[in-house]
Structure 1
Amino acid sequence: MANTPQSQKRARQIERRTAVNKARRSRIRTFLRKVEEAIASGNADAARDALQAAQPELMRGVTKGIVHKNTASRKISRLASRVKALSTV
């Protein structure tokens, strides 16, 4: 347990930030899940729309420090290639 006033304050701040970060991470995962579900259903238009909605959300997570830049780029790249393969079939 925190003893000094400063460490108590930091503990409170960390608690608040953790809640915000958890909500952001959950929101990003929801957008990614929508893309995955659209790909699984085989609907190319829905998958494309879901990917376009997910991209800015994922990159916003990068700017907020939730996700590493390379991780976000990798996820977008892999999803985009899967959506593209879906539309060509």
Structure 2
Amino acid sequence: MANIKSAIKRVNTSEKRRAQNAAFKSDLRTAIKTFNTKAEQKDVDGAKQAFLLATKKIDKAANKGIIHKNAANRQKSRLQVTLNEVTA
């Protein structure tokens, strides 16, 4: 454990951020899984709503630096391909 006051503060800050990022990532994964289940069930309207929510969460994660912007674009692209297959 750190002895210096600023190092102790950094440890606390890092732990808070780690917890927030983990919660946000978990929520993001849940949104993507929800979309995938709607798409597998061929629920077009539900899939569209879930797609909008998932892309919103992906963009927010990319803006916050939780995931890389290229990874975010790749995930959104894959979700869009899946949505196009469901709606076709």
Write the distance in 1 (CA, Å) between the matches of 2:70 and 2:9: 33
Matched, 1:49 2:49: yes
CA separation in 2, counterparts of 1:48 and 1:29? 17
Partner Cα distance (2:12, 2:80) in 1: 40
Equivalent residues in 2 for 1:1-89, closer than 5 Å? 1-88=1-88
Instruction: Name stretches of at least 5 consecutive residues in structure 1 with no aligned partner.
Output: none
Counterparts of 1:84 and 1:49 in 2: how far apart (Å)? 14
Shift of 1:27: 1.2
Distance 1:15 1:78 in 2: 32
Matched position secondary structure for 1:34: helix
Distance 1:13 1:87 in 2: 45
CA deviation map 1:15-50 (0-9, x unaligned): 111111111111111111111111111112211111
RMSD value, Cα: 1.0
Secondary structure, aligned partner of 2:29: helix
Cα distance between partner residues in 2 of 1:15 and 1:56: 26
Deviating 4+ runs (over 2 angstroms): none
The percent identity for this pair of structures is: 32
Shift of 1:54: 1.1
Q: Deviations over 1:38-71 (max 9, x none)?
A: 1111112211111011111110001111111011
